[in-house]
Chain A
Amino acid sequence: MSKIVFQHPRSLKHNIFHYCPGCGHSIVHRITCEVIDEMGIRGITIGVPPAGCAVLAYNYFDVDMIEAPHGRGPAMASGIKRSLPDRVVFSYQGDGDLAAIGMAESFHAANRGENITIIFINNAVYGMTGGQMAPTTMLNQRTTTSPLGRKQQLDGYPVKVSEIFSKIGGATYIERCSVSSPLHVNKTKKAIKKAFQCQIDGLGFSMVEVLSMCPTNWKMSSVDSCKWIDDVLGKEFPLGVYKDEIAALQNEAEAPA
């Protein structure tokens, strides 16, 4: 008897990704769809794609989706989730979307403990608009709007979203992962699954930050991009679990009154 060990995820449409070769978005799309399949939640999942390269995510995710104006995904997701508390609602956002224009919306969604999940793609640049400096751009990193490199005196510092969000009372589960290697891809998938489970269990706000390659705007090969995440970006943004209140909240829920 043969057993299926690998197949096209049911929740992933059969469209060819428009993403550049070596881009991390398609990997995160795929593993998110695998998680949706494995958890059997395709029919109750609603996704909110951002403005940015992933604006066309509805061409790939075979779940209900509504596009949010730039940065407003967490507000929109809050509105959907509060209206339909038994659905799984996630907002998919980039670094500019979440940590610049949408910082207020994401911060306060976390602080309200909205029972939603944010999948946060950190690739240190604005990808779709052509590689401008993002809030997460590294110091001295050259971009089209920091041609001499990001200078802290003028441009400030890379915004450490997971570190900041881990201090927010309403946040339950915050983890930073990467998709720079198969090992890390698997870890990211586990984190997304854990975040969705946190939401399904009604435990509150979860966010998975994913360090993701942008070879086109980094002006690197795909292989060098993966290496740059491991050697450089990952040093500024260390991987790991920044907050995990899941077990504590579960115990609290199970404790006799």
Chain B
Amino acid sequence: MNKVLMSGNFVIGEAAIRAGCRFYAGYPITPQNELTEYMAEHIRNAEGGVFIQSESEIAAINMIAGASAAGIRVMTSSSSPGISLKQEGISSMAACELPGIIVNIMRGGPGLGNIRPSQGDYFQATRGGGHGDYRTIVLAPASGQELADLTMDAFDLADKYRTPVMILADGMMGQMMEPVIFKKPKPRHYNEKFMLRGAGDGKSKFIRGLLLDPIDSEEHNWKLFRKYEIIKKNEPRFEEHRIADAEAVIVAYGTAARIAKGAIKRLREHNLKLGLFRPISLWPFPEMQLRSLAAQVKKFIVFEMSTGQMLEDVRLALQGYADVEFHGRPGGAVPTPAELANVISKICDKRD
């Protein structure tokens, strides 16, 4: 297949349609509008494709929940404040075990914040976000190619585990153009018994999240927990970059990881042996993989476009086996590789 040059938001839309997404609902919010617009134009060309511009993010997530229950591959997208509104529906989809893709093209927060790229929604994304004991799989692409690949994978994961999956990127990823090759999507495996399509001549079904009996509800929670444990075991994804001889390792995801790679290149020119550990799945966090690195590296520097959220997961993963430092820029400020290189060389000097 040929390489095509597309902006990140378009890549997600195209990958979703190729992966068989046939229902999209969304509400305008910057910096993800191009994705909604792409879906408006292109999903209708696919057989059975439905686009609805919803009256709110709340309506959008419930529209995709309904279509998901009907057995359709579904997606919605938004940016930070809009994702807050969707949390009610995400919690509900997790409870009802409905697959679906939620794209968060993060912007500066809290509140309305601004429309600059940021990574302040890590906690919200990886801790469930809405109410109740649940998790969502969170994938954090760091290139146009990964936007395409992970979007397709997200649909397979959502079906496999019958759970909502979030693509967590930021305004930089959404707006940036890169060449992309779309891989061939896998055929869908989703059992019809989970679809609500009318009882026909048979027994009627219902899908619900309300379980008034505490013992029933407890069992449902444990059932979800067991599912999450399997996901934690099977689905961590990460990338290691120039780790082999590294004396210190930067831990960063998404746009921050790209900046970190630029900084590492500069630092290595000055004989500072830095490597990068990049979580690709933020939940499940590649905890064991990071911990095993602590056998060879004793200094980790977490870099985020926030005041330090993934930092907590890194500390939990390293369990004190190594030093953890942090550099971050919140609120939509995006540091340059040169700035990060400066900060890191100071951190490394401090140790020596």
Q: How far is the CA of A43 from the CA of B88 in the complex (A)?
A: 30
A67-B209, A68-B62, A105-B62 given; A82·B199 CB < 8 A: no
A42 to B200, CA, bound (A): 7
- Is residue B295 contacting chain A, with contact meaning CB distance below 8 A? no
Interface residues of A in 35-84 (CB under 8 A from B): 42-46, 48, 51, 55, 58, 61-69, 72, 75-80, 82-84
Given A66-B207, A67-B210, A104-B55, A79 contacting B67 (CB threshold 8 A):
yes
**A172 → chain B, closest Cβ, in Å?**
19
For B208, the chain A residues whose CB sits under 8 A away are 58, 66-67
User: In the bound complex, how far is the Cα of B74 from the Cα of A83, in angstroms?
Assistant: 10
A42 with B62, Cβ < 8 A, contacts A65-B204, A67-B209 known: no
Which residues of chain A are within 8 angstroms of B68 by Cβ–Cβ distance?
A: 79
Check if A83 sits within 8 Å of B201, measured CB to CB: no
**A108: Cβ under 8 A from any B Cβ:** yes
Q: Within the complex, which residue of B22, B62, B210 is in contact with A76, where a contact is CB–CB below 8 Å?
A: B62
**Is B181 an interface residue when CB atoms closer than 8 A count as contact?**
no
Tell yes or no: A187 within 8 A of B by CB.
Answer: no
A104 and B205 CA atoms in complex are apart in Å by 28
Given contacts A66-B207, A82-B50, contact A72 B62 (CB under 8 A): yes
Which residue of chain A is the closest to B50 with respect to CB atoms?
A: A82
Q: Bound complex: CA of A77 vs CA of B208, how far in Å?
A: 15
Given A66-B206, A105-B59, are A80 and B69 also a contact pair (CB < 8 Å)?
Answer: yes
CB-contact partner of B65 in A62, A79, A82, under 8 A:
A79
Please name the residue on chain B nearest to A58 by beta carbon: B206
B330 an interface residue at 8 Å Cβ cutoff?
no
Whether A79 lies near B25 (C-beta < 8 A) is: yes
A83 vs B58: C-alpha distance when bound (angstroms): 19
- With A66-B66, A75-B63, A82-B67 as given contacts, are A43 and B23 in contact (CB-CB < 8 Å)? no
Q: How close is B329's CB to chain A, nearest CB, in angstroms?
A: 36
Q: Which residues of B contact A84 (CB under 8 A)?
A: 70, 197-198
Q: Is the CB–CB distance between B66 and A76 below 8 Å? A: yes
| Size of interface on B: residues with Cβ below 8 Å to A | 41
Measured in the bound complex, the distance between the Cα atoms of B196 and A43 in whole Å is 11
Flag if B89 contacts A72 (CB, 8 Å). yes
Name the distance in Å between B335's Cβ and chain A's nearest Cβ.
Answer: 39
Q: How large is the interface on A (under 10, 10 to 19, 20 to 34, 35 or more residues)?
A: 20 to 34
Would A87 and B69 be within 8 Å (CB), given that A63-B204, A64-B204 are in contact? no
Which chain B residues numbered 84 to 106 have a C-beta less than 8 Å away from chain A? 88-89, 92, 96
> Is there contact, CB below 8 Å, between A79 and B199?
no
Whether B64 is near chain A, meaning CB under 8 Å from some CB there, is yes
Given contacts A58-B208, A105-B55, contact A87 B198 (CB under 8 A): yes
A45 touches B198 (CB 8 A): yes
Which residue on chain B has the smallest CB distance to residue A86?
A: B198
Give complex CA distance A107, B72 in Å: 25
Q: What is the count of residue pairs linking A and B with beta-carbon distances less than 8 angstroms? A: 128
A69 to B91, CA, bound (A): 10
Indicate whether A87 sits within 8 Å of B199 (C-beta atoms), given known contacts A66-B69, A75-B59: no
Pair A79/B58 contact, Cβ less than 8 Å: no
Check: B293 CB closer than 8 A to any chain A CB: no
B22, B199, B210: the one contacting A64 at CB < 8 Å is B199
Question: Once the chains are docked, how many angstroms separate the CA of A80 from the CA of B196?
Answer: 9
When distances are taken between beta carbons in the complex, the residues of chain B under 8 Å from A82 are 23, 50, 52, 63, 67
Is the beta-carbon distance between B70 and A83 smaller than 8 angstroms? Answer: yes
A69 and B89 contact, CB distance less than 8 A: yes
Whether B124 is near chain A, meaning CB under 8 Å from some CB there, is no
In the complex the two chains form, is A104's CB within 8 Å of B59's CB?
Answer: yes
Contacts of A69 in B (CB 8 A): 62, 88-89, 92
B206 and A83 contacting across the interface, CB-CB below 8 Å:
no
Contacts of A104 in B (CB 8 A): 55-56, 58-59
Give the chain A neighbours of B74 by CB distance below 8 A: 79
Contact of A66 among B23, B58, B196 (CB under 8 A): B196
Is B54 on the interface with A (CB-CB < 8 A)? yes
Q: Mark A80-123, 1 if CB is under 8 A from B, else 0.
A: 10111001000000000000000011011000100000000000
A111 nearest CB neighbor, chain B only: B55
- A-B residue pairs in contact (CB < 8 Å), sample of 30: A44-B198, A44-B200, A55-B210, A58-B208, A63-B204, A64-B196, A64-B197, A64-B198, A64-B205, A65-B204, A65-B205, A66-B208, A67-B206, A67-B208, A68-B62, A72-B62, A75-B60, A78-B63, A78-B66, A79-B63, A79-B68, A80-B66, A80-B70, A82-B50, A83-B50, A83-B66, A84-B70, A104-B55, A104-B58, A107-B55
Spell out B's residues near A (CB within 8 Å): 22-23, 25, 48, 50, 52, 54-56, 58-60, 62-72, 74, 88-89, 92, 96, 196-201, 204-210
The 4 closest A-B pairs by CB, nearest first: A79-B66, A76-B66, A58-B206, A75-B62
